Structures are given as structure tokens and as C-alpha cells.
């Protein structure tokens, strides 16, 4: 930074903070004032607020008079930095509306200078100018004068000090890499040793250090350095080295000069007599060896995977394929069959090693033992085989460099076990079978085996016990295939039991396996046991994974996300997700789609049996997950927090109703089963709470049958529940669903029973709900006159209880009664008060419903502008809530308002959108679908008529009249008849 003009301001931050004007040093005052200056300079030309400066310089203990102290610091800095007699407007420090900034175009800062030199150096490096890059990195490093921002207080200075120090290490690392790439690795070793000692967990620095050691003919030291890092990470952080470091390790093993040293350095190393030396090569075997096991049995349903494995790999490299999957899935059978097909492509030998990761009673094989065995297999004498792993690896690579081998490694435990065993000869192939997903191994092809489909499993069963026998019991054969979960090992054990017990029928074995508690016990034959295979996988898990696996057997649904085990384990969802991903890698759990997990049926049985061996742990986990479903249903419910006056407190797992609703949507068709799960455990209260909490969710999704199933499951347990509110509450829920199902009389009966029970038990909350429900049922049954008294009573009681949802709902229905009877102003008053309660409750469905009802009155009055405003907001709210039927109706009503306002295209688009949404529902679930579609199509026909598109209008009206059972909806049918008549006279 020499050669400055006499007036140019310079500021240095890469050491103690200093400033000059030209060659004159400036007094910046105490360190706190210097910290204020550094904060403004590092903002790089943008302004920083008063509050951010205080937080950045003083942190959690700002001065009591910060609003006065900071301006005094800025004033003193202006005096120090600006030339004499500089006006406020021309100051190098700019201020406006409580924000400060620096005129960076008038300042030269060493941090910016360093960044510029770094960019230039990297450009030179990318272009191949290593000498220019090295000079650039050296120049950038020269700007550091010690610790950046030395001595400055405050969190901002601390963070920037750390960032600038990291930048310095990166500069030094890149400079040293230029030395390695330039063939001067020996000069880089001291610097890399210093960097590695300062940052013992920095894998990038270690990778460069390994490359330098390799270039300096110290291959064994490079490999030992990797092993040291691997052990540190495992013992101190519980993780494994990343893929990038693993690639460098494998490159050192393979002596890949180009990857490690770059093309030019590799060329120079090859020409240099002092380049990396080759290990002594034992003689090539006289005749090829074949250690592959023989093929036994049939391979069913693995044609695609077998073809993928048996396809030749590119000839210029070593091909690596991995096969993973759950115990008993048939990995060994597949890889042996594929290996037999690959024999012809590997003239120098086919080797097979069982690594015994899950072999009971047999010691696992270390890489040293495997390498000694492999070397002997291809002709190396015992006297020529060293003992050290690094030396063994070097010899193995050298021996296999000119060979085309096929190596099958079965039952591997992890990537670290495999890497030293990889041969070096181009054209060689390695196939690895493991229960683990070997993410740390560079593989060209990865295959995860899934259970056989039912048809394939049935075919395998027929091969085992005879087609005639299985064809005679086709239903039992398919059920037995299902109970075996598509696992070839389970099917083979079941087949063995039927082979050795010819008097047994398939149906008899199915009966013995029907009970989950006995199923795994039946899948045992001789020394083969499916449960023992699962147990070996479980025994190799870390303690945290073992606990998670056990409790996963207790989940109430077959699929789950991370939140479910998080609740059961009492851990954050992120931690639970990490554990789940680890279990996926062990093949003990499956991942059908991102973020969703499941256990194979038989693995689930095993996990539950393990969990039940610890009753206290199992009980706590079961209670936690059931509470999670209660909380999700209540948080997502339109009833709001006041709608559930009894029951357990919330779990805090969901931020809002939308998050809870999305979580329930993901569970999909299994929600009703959760109620049955709780009931089966004898958890009467939880069964009732969950059924009640899910009622609104089922209604909004148009899944009334599932909602009714959940309530029917819980109702027999209500009398045994400790929460006595459940006795009338579940009847009220049943009545609500019956209203939506279109059975007003059955709904009225349910509400009447709930009213009787609530009054007998003194439960005013359920009494208010029951009264409102009776009024709603009377209206839906076509008796609006009989609805007013119970609705009014329900409104009065809800007001006294301050239950906003019941009040909003009852007032909305009461307003509808007034509208039907021509009392427009009474209707609008009810809707206005209902809206107040709905807004207080804060749930979108009720708010949108009230707005839609009020809009209907304005449509009756021809007030289309007012109706549009209400319906536009209602449509936005109800779409957020995911209520499909209500969304369709609201959009169609908005289309009617647009038509009335003369916006024909908008009206047509809205009616079509409404129709599309309604048709996404199943007619089996939505009993009102026919009536709603008739109404929407009639409105669409009216819009077509108004647009002059008479043919399309007539088509809509004819479709309405052609609906089966259209006569059951006289109002909608009359609209279509009148519309069609208008079309025919146009």
C-alpha cells in the first residue's frame, strides 16, 4: 500500500487497527471507538443502523446512554479522519436517519486489497499459471500484520476476526497447494504440518497434507494420517470422514498421480527417477482361480437388478457395485448369480470373501486377514506377504495392477473395511453386498433390494413347496406370501417348514403366523431364523440408534416422519431425523419418499418385541406419540383452542394450525387407525381425545367415512375414559359428521343424546354444542322454523361460555335460517356478530364460511360489489385451510358475483376452477357432491348464456338434468330446467 497520495485515507484492519492520511498516522482513540470505525468500514459502503452498531460493539451490555455515546464516538472519528475544516456534508463518515456509513470510494482498506489479490491469484491458478498464483497468494498473505482487529471488543469484531483468520488459513492452504502442484511438495510439508496441528479436524487441510506426503514418497505416512483423522472424528465427534477426504485416501491407495498431483506434476513425477516407487510385484498366477460359490435355488423377481449387476463396466477403470438391503432380502443370492455371469469378463480370477459382519459365532474378518487371503489366492507366497495394513494394501495394489479380477465381498460392515481391498487393475470388478448403505465408498452402481411383490413371492413359494400344492390353496398361498413380507429368507423358511411337515396345509401355517406375537417364532427352521438375522443387525447399532429402533416398533402408523420418533424419544426433530437417516443406511428402516419412513412388517414385529422387553420405556413412548396426535388434531382444528376445554396440554410440536394440518395430511389414510391403536392399548382417554380432535380434519378433507369410523371406534371406550366430557363430546362429533354426510335425522338423534348426557353431567360446553347441532339438523331436515329455538339457546350459552367457535357457528346457521325466511336484516346482523366471533377464534374455515353466507345475502340483493369483496377473502382463507368442498362452493359463488358485475371471463374461469376442485373428491366420501356439482354447472351454464355461448350453456344444463338421482335436488334441477329453456328460446 505504498505510493499513496498525500491526502488519500488508508485504513488497516488485518492486525491492530491503524489509519493514515497519506503518510501521516491518525489517532483513532480507544479500542471501543476503533471498533465502531471497523464496523462501519466492514459494512463495505452500505449504512449500518444505530442499533446494529450498539449490538455489534457492546453486545448484550450496551451503555445506558447509548443514544448519546455513539454520536460522540462518530464525532471524534470524523475529527480524526477528515482533513481540517471539512464540512459535515463532505465528511468521510455519512449519517442519515439513525444510520452511519463510510464513503468507501475515498478510502483504501487492506481487507479489500487482500480480497482483490486473492481473486487475481485464483484466476492465475485456474488458468494454469501456478507461479503467478503463488506470488498472488504470497502478496495477499503479506497484508496480514498479526491477528486481524487485534484487541477490539464486541461480538462483531470477534466474528470478523474469526472470518479473517479463516481467510488467512485458506490463503496459506492455497499457496501450499500451488507448491504441491508445481512439483515442490517437500517445501510445503512444514507449512501443512503447522496448519494440520492448528486445525486437527480440517479435512481439506489434511487432504492436501496427504497429497504432499504422497508426492514426497511417503505414501504410508499419508495413509496413516488419514487413519488418525478417522479415529479422531469417530472417537471425539462420532462421525466419519467426508467423501472428499475418502477420495484422496483411495487415490493414495491406487497411486493416482493425476488426481493427487495434477496432470503436470504427475508427468514430472513419472519422468523423475525419484518419483513414487512401485512395490515389489509377486509373480502372476499360473492359472485363474475361481472361488465363487455355486448357484443354488431359484432367483425370482430380481431380473432388473441382476441385469444391472451383470452388465460390463467400462474397461479403463475398476468397476464397483454395491447391493444393500434388509436381512433376508436375498443379497447374497443375487450377487453370486450376477458374478457367475461376469466370469468370462475376468480371465485372471474370480474371488469371493464372506466378511462375516453378521455371522453368529464367527469372528469378523479384518482387512489385514482378507488381504493376506486374497494375495495367497492369486499366487503370492506367505513369505512375501507383509503384516502391516499399509504395506499389505500397497502390495495388493501392485499385484493386481495388471490383472482383471472379479472380487465379491459379501456381508460387509462398512466402507472402511472395503477400501483397502479394492484391486488396481483396469477392467476389474468389485461387487459388495451389505446391510449397510456404503455411502463412504465410491461406487459406480448402487442397488437397494426391496421385498418381492406378492405375485413374485407367491411364485417363489410355489417353487419351494410345489405348484400343485400352492395352486390348491391359492388364497392361503397369497396370504402366506404377504405374511412373509416378500422376504426371500422368510419364504424359504416357511417353505422348509411345509416341506418337512407334509401333513400341514398352507392355511394351517397361515393360522399359526396370523398373530404378530407368534409370526417370527414360526419363521425358524434348523439354524435359520429371521429374528436372529434381525437381531444381529440391531446388535451392531449405536445405543441411541438401538433405542430409536425399539420405539419405532410402537408407532401407531406404518409410515412416519421425524416428528413421531422425536416425540417418543423426547429429542428435537432434527436429532431424530439424523438417527432415522442412520437407520436407513443400515437397511433396518425404509424411506418410501423424502422425509417419510417405514419399517418392514416383520422388522416392525421384531422392533416391538424388543421395545416390550422394557415396559417403562415403551409406556412413556406410547403416551408421547398419542399426545402428539391429540395435539396435532386440536391445533389443526377449526374449533380453536377453546374448542377442547379438557384433555392433555399441547406438546409445542406445531407452530400453527397450518403446520399441524400438513402433518396430519401426510399421515393420510392411517389416521383413523391411530384411534384403534390407542383403544387396543387400553388408552381410553387418548382414543377419545384423538377421535374428537380429528373430527374437523376429516370434515375439511371430505373424508366423512373415516371420521365416523374413528368415532365409532372410540365411542365404546368413552364410558371408561377418565375425562367425562368425552361421553357427550363424541356424540356431538358424530352428529357433526352426520350433518356433513347428509343424514340430518341421524345427526339430530346424536345431538339429542349428547344434549341429554351433557345436561345430566353438568357439561355446559357440550350442551351448547348439542343445542347448536340440533338447530343445524332441523334446518338441514327442511324444518327451519324449528331450528330457531335451539340455535338461539346455543348462541346464548356459547356467549356466556365465551366459546367463539360455537357462537360463530350457531349464529351463522341462525343467519341462514333468517335469510331463508326473508328476514334479510336479521340475517346480516347474525352474520356480522358471527364474523366477530370467528375472527376472535382465528381459524380460516369458519371465517370464510361466515363471509360466504353474508355474501349470499348481498347476491340476493343484487349487491355484487359487496359480495365480491366478501367472497374474495373467503376464497383465500378456505383454500389455505384445505377444505375442498367449501373451496369449490366459495369459488363458484364468487363466479356468480363476477357475472353480476359484468365480468364474464372471470366468472367462467371461477366456475371451471370450482368444478375441477369438486371433481377431485371421491363421490363415495362426499355425499353432497352431486348436489354441489349440479349447482356449479347450472351457474356455469348461466355464465355461458350471458356470454352468448348458447351451445355450451345448453350442454351444462343437460349434464345437470342427466345426473342419476337429479330429482332428489329439486332446487338445483329447477335452475337447470329454466336455464335450458332460455337456451332453446334464444
Question: What is the maximum span of the chain, computed from C-alpha positions, in angstroms?
Answer: 112
| Beta-sheet pairing, 48-49 with 99-102 | antiparallel
Distance CA 189, CA 712 (A): 75
Distance CA 743, CA 750 (A): 11
| pLDDT in the model for residue 270 | 53
| pLDDT in the model for residue 279 | 38
- Better-predicted residue by pLDDT, 608 or 294: 608
Average pLDDT for residues 747-774, to the nearest whole number?
96
pLDDT at 714 over 90: yes
| pLDDT in the model for residue 282 | 40
3-state secondary structure of 234: helix
pLDDT at 921 over 80: no
φ and ψ of 20, to 5 deg: -135, 150
Distance CA 325, CA 666 (A): 25
Q: 181's torsion region: left (phi>0), alpha (psi -120 to 50) or beta?
A: alpha
Work out the angle at residue 764's Cα, subtended by the Cα atoms of residues 761 and 767, and round it to the nearest 5 degrees: 85
| Beta-sheet pairing, 48-49 with 596-598 | unpaired
| pLDDT in the model for residue 432 | 94
Residue 806: name the closest of 714, 736, 873, 875 by CA: 736
Cβ neighbors of 860 (< 8 A, separation 6 or more) are: 819, 824
Q: 948's torsion region: left (phi>0), alpha (psi -120 to 50) or beta?
A: left
Distance CA 809, CA 787 (A): 13
Average pLDDT for residues 15-42, to the nearest whole number?
89
| pLDDT in the model for residue 366 | 81
| pLDDT in the model for residue 281 | 37
Residues 656-702: pLDDT tens digits? 988 999 999 888 778 999 999 999 999 999 999 999 999 999 988 88
| Beta-sheet pairing, 559-560 with 596-598 | antiparallel
Average pLDDT for residues 174-195, to the nearest whole number?
86
| pLDDT in the model for residue 251 | 84
Place of cell 361466515: 850
C-alpha cell at 737: 359428521
Average pLDDT for residues 275-304, to the nearest whole number?
63
| pLDDT in the model for residue 537 | 85
Find out whether 406 and 429 touch, Cβ atoms under 8 Å.
yes
Average pLDDT for residues 957-986, to the nearest whole number?
86
| pLDDT in the model for residue 830 | 95
3-state secondary structure of 690: helix
Residues 545-590: pLDDT tens digits? 999 999 999 999 988 999 999 999 999 999 999 999 999 888 888 8
Find out whether 393 and 420 touch, Cβ atoms under 8 Å.
yes
Average pLDDT for residues 159-169, to the nearest whole number?
90
3-state secondary structure of 261: helix
Average pLDDT for residues 746-772, to the nearest whole number?
96
**Best mean pLDDT range from 438-442, 633-637, 666-670, 697-701:** 633-637
Residue 537, CA distances (Å) to 331, 356, 376, 399, 583 in order: 15, 12, 31, 35, 10
pLDDT at 495 over 90: no
Residues 851-902: pLDDT tens digits? 999 999 999 999 999 999 999 999 998 888 777 888 999 999 999 999 999 9
Cβ neighbors of 169 (< 8 A, separation 6 or more) are: 195, 198, 199, 205
| pLDDT in the model for residue 45 | 66
Instruction: Report how far Cα 269 is from the mean position of its chain's Cα atoms.
Output: 47
| pLDDT in the model for residue 414 | 85
The DSSP call for residue 92 is S
| pLDDT in the model for residue 2 | 47
| pLDDT in the model for residue 182 | 83
Cβ neighbors of 918 (< 8 A, separation 6 or more) are: 884, 885, 888, 929, 932, 933, 936
Residues 415-432: pLDDT tens digits? 888 999 999 888 899 999
| pLDDT in the model for residue 778 | 96
Confidence of residue 284 (pLDDT cuts 50, 70, 90): very low
Average pLDDT for residues 362-379, to the nearest whole number?
80
Q: 566's torsion region: left (phi>0), alpha (psi -120 to 50) or beta?
A: alpha
The rounded percent of the chain whose pLDDT value lies above 90 is 40
Distance CA 268, CA 95 (A): 59
Residue 210: name the closest of 197, 199, 194, 226 by CA: 226
Residue 969: name the closest of 726, 689, 681, 742 by CA: 742
| pLDDT in the model for residue 97 | 75
Span of 39-43, 78-82, 153-157, 233-237 with lowest mean pLDDT = 233-237
C-alpha cell at 72: 460522540
Residue 685, CA distances (Å) to 679, 689, 723, 737 in order: 9, 6, 7, 21
| pLDDT in the model for residue 687 | 97
Ordered DSSP codes for 459-501: HHHHHHH-HHHHHTTHHHHHHHHHHTTT-HHHHHHHHHHHHH-
C-alpha cell at 458: 407367491
Distance CA 586, CA 460 (A): 26
Average pLDDT for residues 363-380, to the nearest whole number?
80
Confidence of residue 380 (pLDDT cuts 50, 70, 90): low
Confidence of residue 384 (pLDDT cuts 50, 70, 90): low
Find out whether 401 and 291 touch, Cβ atoms under 8 Å.
no
Residue 881: name the closest of 849, 916, 852 by CA: 849
| pLDDT in the model for residue 761 | 93
Confidence of residue 246 (pLDDT cuts 50, 70, 90): confident
The DSSP call for residue 235 is I
Distance CA 210, CA 232 (A): 16
pLDDT at 276 over 80: no
351 strand-pairing partners: 407
Find out whether 698 and 706 touch, Cβ atoms under 8 Å.
yes
Residue 310, CA distances (Å) to 306, 407, 698 in order: 6, 13, 50
Instruction: Say what the pTM is.
Output: 0.63
| pLDDT in the model for residue 12 | 92
Residues 197-216: pLDDT tens digits? 888 888 888 999 999 888 88
Q: What is the mean pLDDT of the chain?
A: 87
Residues 509-537: pLDDT tens digits? 989 888 776 788 888 877 678 888 888 88
Find out whether 845 and 816 touch, Cβ atoms under 8 Å.
no
The DSSP call for residue 411 is E
pLDDT at 815 over 90: yes
Helices (H), 199-326: 203-215, 219-232, 243-254, 257-271, 303-310
Distance CA 510, CA 526 (A): 20
- Better-predicted residue by pLDDT, 806 or 275: 806
Average pLDDT for residues 358-368, to the nearest whole number?
69
Q: How many CB atoms lie within 10 A of CB 303?
A: 9
C-alpha cell at 583: 437407520
**Using CA of residue 146, residue 149, residue 153, residue 159, what is the dihedral sign?**
negative
Q: 876's torsion region: left (phi>0), alpha (psi -120 to 50) or beta?
A: alpha
| pLDDT in the model for residue 280 | 38
The rounded percent of the chain whose pLDDT value lies above 70 is 94
Confidence of residue 926 (pLDDT cuts 50, 70, 90): low
Cβ neighbors of 844 (< 8 A, separation 6 or more) are: 638, 657, 877, 878, 880, 881
Find out whether 313 and 302 touch, Cβ atoms under 8 Å.
no
Helices (H), 861-928: 864-881, 884-900, 904-919
pLDDT at 964 over 60: yes
The DSSP call for residue 412 is E
Residue 823 CB-density burial (10 A; 0-12 exposed, 13-18 middle, 19+ buried): middle
Distance CA 281, CA 395 (A): 7
C-alpha cell at 168: 488467512
Distance CA 688, CA 710 (A): 9
Span of 10-19, 231-240, 283-292, 513-522 with lowest mean pLDDT = 283-292
Amino acid at each position: 500500500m505504498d505510493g499513496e497520495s498525500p491526502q488519500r485515507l488508508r485504513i488497516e484492519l488485518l492486525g491492530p487497527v491503524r489509519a493514515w492520511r497519506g503518510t501521516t498516522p491518525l489517532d483513532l482513540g480507544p479500542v471501543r471507538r476503533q471498533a465502531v470505525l471497523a464496523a462501519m468500514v466492514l459494512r463495505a459502503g452500505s449504512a449500518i443502523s444505530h442499533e446494529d452498531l450498539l449490538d455489534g460493539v457492546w453486545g448484550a451490555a450496551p451503555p445506558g446512554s447509548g443514544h448519546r455515546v455513539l454520536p460522540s464516538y462518530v464525532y471524534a472519528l470524523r475529527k480524526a479522519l477528515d482533513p481540517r475544516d471539512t464540512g459535515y456534508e463532505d465528511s468521510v463518515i455519512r449519517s442519515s436517519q439513525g444510520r452511519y456509513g463510510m464513503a468507501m470510494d475515498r478510502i483504501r482498506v487492506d481487507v479489500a486489497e487482500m480480497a482483490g489479490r486473492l481473486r487475481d491469484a485464483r484466476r492465475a491458478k485456474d488458468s494454469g499459471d501456478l507461479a503467478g498464483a503463488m506470488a498472488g497468494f504470497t502478496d495477499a498473505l503479506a497484508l496480514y500484520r498479526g491477528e486481524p482487529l487485534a484487541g477490539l471488543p464486541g461480538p462483531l469484531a470477534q466474528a470478523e476476526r474469526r472470518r479473517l483468520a479463516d481467510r488467512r488459513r485458506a490463503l496459506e492452504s492455497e499457496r501450499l497447494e500451488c507448491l504441491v502442484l508445481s512439483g515442490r511438495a517437500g517445501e510445503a510439508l512444514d507449512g501443512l504440518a503447522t496448519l494440520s496441528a492448528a486445525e486437527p479436524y480440517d479435512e481439506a487441510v489434511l487432504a492436501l497434507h496427504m497429497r504432499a506426503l504422497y508426492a514426497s514418497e511417503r505414501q504410508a505416512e499419508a495413509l496413516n494420517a488419514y487413519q488418525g483423522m478417522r479415529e479422531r472424528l469417530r472417537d471425539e465427534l462420532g462421525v466419519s470422514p467426508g467423501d472428499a477426504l475418502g477420495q484422496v485416501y483411495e487415490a493414495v491407495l491406487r497411486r493416482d498421480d493425476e488426481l493427487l498431483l495434477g496432470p503436470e506434476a504427475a508427468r514430472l513425477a513419472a519422468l523423475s527417477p525419484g518419483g513414487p516407487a512401485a512395490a515389489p510385484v509377486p509373480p502372476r498366477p499360473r492359472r485363474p482361480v475361481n472361488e465363487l460359490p455355486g448357484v443354488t435355488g431359484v432367483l425370482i423377481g430380481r431380473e432388473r437388478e441382476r441385469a444391472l449387476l451383470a452388465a460390463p463396466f467400462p474397461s479403463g477403470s475398476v468397476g464397483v457395485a454395491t447391493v444393500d438391503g434388509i436381512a433376508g432380502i436375498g443379497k447374497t443370492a443375487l450377487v453370486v448369480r450376477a458374478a457367475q455371469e461376469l466370469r468370462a469378463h475376468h480371465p485372471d480370477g474370480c474371488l469371493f470373501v464372506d466378511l462375516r459382519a453378521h455371522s453368529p459365532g464367527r469372528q469378523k474378518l479384518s482387512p489385514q486377514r482378507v488381504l493376506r487371503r486374497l494375495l495367497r489366492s492369486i499366487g503370492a507366497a506367505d513369505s512375501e506377504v507383509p503384516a502391516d495394513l499399509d504395506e499389505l494394501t500397497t502390495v495388493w495394489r501392485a499385484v493386481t495392477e495388471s490383472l482383471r479380477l472379479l472380487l465379491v465381498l459379501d456381508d460387509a460392515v462398512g466402507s472402511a473395511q472395503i477400501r483397502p481391498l479394492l484391486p488396481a487393475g483396469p477392467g476389474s470388478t468389485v461387487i459388495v453386498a451389505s446391510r449397510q448403505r456404503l455411502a463412504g465408498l465410491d461406487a459406480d452402481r448402487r442397488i437397494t433390494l426391496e421385498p418381492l411383490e406378492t405375485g413374485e413371492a407367491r411364485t417363489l413359494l410355489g417353487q419351494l413347496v410345489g405348484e400343485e400344492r400352492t395352486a390348491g390353496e391359492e388364497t392361503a398361498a397369497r396370504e402366506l406370501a404377504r405374511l412373509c413380507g416378500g422376504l426371500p429368507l422368510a419364504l424359504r423358511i416357511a417353505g422348509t417348514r411345509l416341506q418337512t411337515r407334509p401333513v400341514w396345509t398352507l392355511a394351517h401355517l397361515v393360522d399359526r403366523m396370523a398373530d404378530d406375537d407368534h409370526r417370527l417364532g414360526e419363521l425358524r427352521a434348523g439354524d435359520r431364523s429371521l429374528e436372529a438375522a434381525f437381531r444381529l443387525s440391531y446388535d451392531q447399532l449405536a445405543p441411541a440408534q438401538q433405542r430409536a429402533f425399539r420405539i419405532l416398533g410402537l408407532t401407531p402408523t406404518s409410515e412416519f416422519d421425524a416428528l413421531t420418533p422425536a416425540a417418543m424419544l423426547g429429542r428435537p426433530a432434527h436429532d431424530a431425523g439424523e438417527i432415522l437417516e442412520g437407520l436407513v443406511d443400515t437397511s433396518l428402516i425404509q424411506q418410501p419418499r423424502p422425509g417419510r419412513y417405514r419399517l418392514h412388517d416383520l422388522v416392525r414385529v421384531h422392533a416391538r418385541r424388543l421395545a416390550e422387553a422394557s415396559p417403562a420405556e415403551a409406556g412413556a413412548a406410547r403416551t408421547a406419540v398419542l399426545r402428539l396426535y391429540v395435539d396435532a388434531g386440536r391445533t389443526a382444528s377449526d374449533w380453536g383452542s377453546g374448542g377442547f376445554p379438557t384433555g392433555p396440554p399441547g406438546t409445542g410440536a406445531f407452530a400453527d394450525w397450518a403446520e399441524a394440518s400438513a402433518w396430519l395430511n401426510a399421515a393420510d389414510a392411517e389416521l383413523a387407525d391411530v384411534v384403534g391403536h390407542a383403544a387396543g392399548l387400553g388408552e381410553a382417554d387418548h382414543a377419545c381425545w384423538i377421535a374428537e380432535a380429528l373430527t374437523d380434519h376429516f370434515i375439511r378433507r371430505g373424508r366423512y367415512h373415516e371420521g365416523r369410523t374413528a368415532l365409532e371406534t372410540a365411542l365404546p371406550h368413552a364410558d371408561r375414559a377418565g375425562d367425562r366430557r368425552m361421553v357427550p363430546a363424541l356424540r356431538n362429533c358424530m352428529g357433526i359428521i352426520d350433518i356433513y354426510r347428509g343424514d340430518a335425522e341421524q345427526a339430530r338423534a346424536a345431538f339429542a343424546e349428547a344434549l341429554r348426557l351433557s345436561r345430566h353431567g353438568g357439561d355446559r360446553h357440550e350442551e351448547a354444542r348439542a343445542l347448536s347441532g340440533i338447530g343445524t339438523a332441523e334446518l338441514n331436515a327442511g324444518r327451519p322454523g324449528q331450528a330457531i329455538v335451539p340455535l338461539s339457546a346455543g348462541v346464548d350459552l356459547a356467549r356466556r361460555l365465551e366459546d367463539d367457535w360455537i357462537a360463530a357457528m350457531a349464529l351463522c346457521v341462525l343467519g341462514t335460517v333468517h335469510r331463508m325466511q326473508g328476514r334479510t336484516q336479521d340475517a346480516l346482523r347474525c352474520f356480522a356478530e358471527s364474523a366477530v366471533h370467528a375472527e376472535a377464534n382465528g381459524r380460516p374455515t369458519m371465517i370464510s364460511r361466515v363471509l360466504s353466507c353474508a355474501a349470499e345475502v348481498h347476491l340476493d340483493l343484487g349487491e355484487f360489489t359487496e359480495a365480491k369483496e366478501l367472497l374474495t377473502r373467503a376464497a383465500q382463507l378456505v383454500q389455505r385451510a384445505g377444505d375442498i368442498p367449501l373451496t369449490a362452493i366459495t369459488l363458484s359463488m364468487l363466479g356468480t358475483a363476477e357475472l353480476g358485475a359484468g365480468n364474464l371471463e372471470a366468472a367462467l374461469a371461477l366456475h371451471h376452477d370450482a368444478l375441477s376442485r369438486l371433481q377431485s373428491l371421491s363421490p363415495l366420501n362426499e355425499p353432497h357432491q352431486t348436489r354441489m356439482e349440479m349447482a356449479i354447472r347450472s351457474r356455469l351454464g348461466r355464465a355461458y348464456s350471458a356470454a352468448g355461448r348458447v351451445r355450451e350453456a345448453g350442454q351444462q344444463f343437460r349434464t345437470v338434468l342427466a345426473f342419476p338421482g337429479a330429482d332428489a335436488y329439486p332446487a338445483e334441477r329447477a335452475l337447470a330446467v329454466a336455464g335450458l329453456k332460455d337456451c332453446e328460446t334464444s
